[in-house]
A and B are shown apart, each in its own frame.
Chain A
Amino acid sequence: MTAPTAAPVTARRAKKSRAVTDQVPAHLYGLRRGTSAVLTILAALFAVFILAPLVWLLINATKSQAEIYTSFGFWFAGPFRLWQNVAGLGQDISGAGVFIQWFGNTLLYAVSGAVGATILSALAGYGFSRYRFRGGNAMFFLVMATLLVPLTSIALPLFLVYSKVGLVNSVWGMILPSMVSPIGIYLMRTYLDASVPKELIEAARIDGASELGIFVRIALPLSVPGLMTVLLISIVAIWNNYFLPLIIFSKNNLYPLTVGLSALSKAAETGTKAELLPVLITGGLVTVLPLIVLFLLLERYFRGGMLQGSVTG
């Protein structure tokens, strides 16, 4: 292990300024004048490809069921019904379940699961990073190996175990496995290796601090950005998880948003007369918005995780 020289926080700051000063000026590439414009248009076209569905979602959340089918998809039509549609999310239409309840469930699963994942990852990462114990490397390798195990192959066996221990249709059945995050353990280990100087911990030991005290008072405060990254990545992963809740929940009052919306889309297509489409589309919008806002506000933490993820290669 190399000596920890610069904490990633300062490294990231330095990186930001480097992006401005240290970049090779674009004109040195000697591109023809038109090329840069063509490339920018190309990037803009791809941005349109990415944004169009989201814009469509936003616009159609303001329409009634009939207008969704009859009016042009990329422009507003008829009376502005966004608020009525949002209000519709609080009702149980044709027995599929109540959207607001799913929203609450998702919030509960994502927040408690992600907090748990962060705490456990910090503990496990600290353990792997600071203590050399027999079989430590083998165990870490095992953690990494579980990254490659497909979720599909885990979810069904989990269900089979749950049905033995009574965790089917239990909130804990969703939250507990969400707390296990191999990628979180990996990120925390890398982060702690880089940002908590060994000398500091030695010094604290000599001063008579307890092991727990060292972890809580020294290691945790120094690794806040790393913790944030793990927390955010976990929230997104749990929020978007579909397969696990689909398998373990059969009561629709326990569904998270993803499974609820999929149930809605099935109900919407099997031809009930009820106005399900506005609920489906507005519900999709409400599902996506919190994460996009979270991402735009805390983008640098997401990218922090990407950076460390890329070091794996």
Chain B
Amino acid sequence: MLMLALFMLVPTIYAIWSSLFTTKIIGGRQFAGLANYVTVFESGEFWSGVIRVLIFGAIQVPVTLALAFLFAALFDAGVIRGSRFFRTVYFMPFAVPGVVASVMWSFLLLPNFGPYAQFVKQLGFGNVNFFSSSLILPTIMLIVIWEWTGYNMTILYTSLKAIPKEVTEAAIVEGASLWRIILRIKLPMVMPSIVMLVFLNAVGALQLFTEPSILAAFQPQAVSFGFTPSLFVYNTAVGSGQYELGAAAAIVLALIIGALSVAGFAVRRRNGEFR
């Protein structure tokens, strides 16, 4: 508990404290009140990053979970041969650091050279630049979906396995089809797990950092200073040395994530799903 306090609470309080100051070349550190927060709130760069990760999450999270649930349900029903092998393979990206995943995908998608870019060209789409400003977000979605589908699938598979066999048998006797059983009976039964995963994935999406920061090394023009809020925090604090402003942005980000979580919990509690 002491450790937790030391490494979670103290930094947070200190961050709130220091976000109230400003450091100037002349005059040193001065109390600035809420000026840093005003700067953050007025920064178009910061908010465009927030909107970008919200769009990102709104697409990536449902796609990841839909794929994860589809495969989990099919493996659970046993209608796919070799499901043990597939489950192991799907889970493997969990062991791959985001940095390595991003490096691999950067090469695979590299314009003109990458095998995937060449493949797309042979399909007749011409030279597609996956790192152009219009495609960079879908590209990052692709990488994140690659990384996390298996993890989500594993959790959903475990939940599905906990459904009593009798439920499925009864449905079959009633003449329900496989798809009906999966969507109408099993999906509602694992809904609590799905809700939890929506949370975890959404919080992860809002903190998006590793993938864009690595892609920035390959394609600096595609990933801007405040591409995601986390990048904004990092670049402000470490890149420009404005630690206090960075701390203020970090706190605003934490508050946004906290507000979404609380809203989510409220919805769950109303539905009677939360203890």
Residues of A near any B CB (own CB < 8 A): 15, 19, 22-26, 28-31, 35-36, 39-40, 43-44, 46-47, 49-54, 56-57, 60, 68-69, 72-74, 120, 124, 139, 143, 146, 148-154, 156-161, 176-177, 179-180, 182, 236, 239-240, 242-243, 246-247, 257-259, 261-262, 265-266, 269, 280-281, 284, 287-288, 291-292, 294-296, 299, 302-303, 306-307, 309-310, 312-313
Residues in B with CB closer than 8 Å to A281 are 103, 107
Residues in A with CB closer than 8 Å to B246 are 156
The residue that A146 contacts in the complex, of B8, B18, B158, with Cβ under 8 A, is B8
8 pairs from A and B in contact (CB 8 Å cutoff): A29-B79, A29-B172, A43-B80, A43-B83, A149-B258, A153-B233, A156-B247, A265-B214
Question: In whole angstroms, what is the CA distance A259 to B238 when docked?
Answer: 15
Residues in A with CB closer than 8 Å to B65 are none
The count of chain B contact residues (Cβ–Cβ below 8 Å) is 96
User: Closest Cβ of chain B: how far from A194's Cβ, in Å?
Assistant: 14
Report the stretch among B36-44, B55-63, B92-100 that lies at the interface: B92-100
Report the stretch among B9-17, B24-32, B121-129, B133-141 that lies at the interface: B9-17
Contact B11 A154 (CB under 8 A): yes
Binary A-proximity of B184-204 (CB < 8 A = 1, otherwise 0): 000000001111110000010
Contact A240 B98 (CB under 8 A): yes
User: Closest Cβ of chain B: how far from A136's Cβ, in Å?
Assistant: 11
User: Closest Cβ of chain A: how far from B108's Cβ, in Å?
Assistant: 6
User: Closest Cβ of chain A: how far from B89's Cβ, in Å?
Assistant: 5
Contact A258 B104 (CB under 8 A): no
Question: In whole angstroms, what is the CA distance A258 to B100 when docked?
Answer: 8
Contact A154 B12 (CB under 8 A): yes
Q: Is B82 an interface residue (CB 8 A)?
A: yes
Question: In whole angstroms, what is the CA distance A134 to B210 when docked?
Answer: 41
Dominant secondary structure of chain A at its interface with chain B: helix
Q: Pick the most buried of A26, A51, A73, A309: most chain B CB atoms within 10 A of its CB.
A: A73
Question: In whole angstroms, what is the CA distance A157 to B250 when docked?
Answer: 9
Residues of B near any A CB (own CB < 8 A): 1, 3-4, 6-8, 10-12, 14-15, 18, 67, 71, 74-75, 77-83, 85-86, 88-101, 103-108, 113-115, 146, 149-150, 154-156, 158-159, 161, 165, 168-169, 172, 177-178, 181, 192-197, 203, 206-207, 209-210, 213-214, 217-218, 229-230, 233-234, 237-238, 243, 246-247, 250-251, 253-254, 257-258, 261, 273
Question: In whole angstroms, what is the CA distance A306 to B153 when docked?
Answer: 10
Contact B3 A257 (CB under 8 A): no
Question: In whole angstroms, what is the CA distance A156 to B254 when docked?
Answer: 12
Contact B4 A182 (CB under 8 A): yes
Residues in A with CB closer than 8 Å to B158 are 303, 306-307, 310
User: Closest Cβ of chain B: how far from A60's Cβ, in Å?
Assistant: 8
Residues in A with CB closer than 8 Å to B196 are 310, 312-313
Nearest to B115 among chain A residues (CB) is A73
The residue that A24 contacts in the complex, of B71, B105, B113, B165, with Cβ under 8 A, is B165
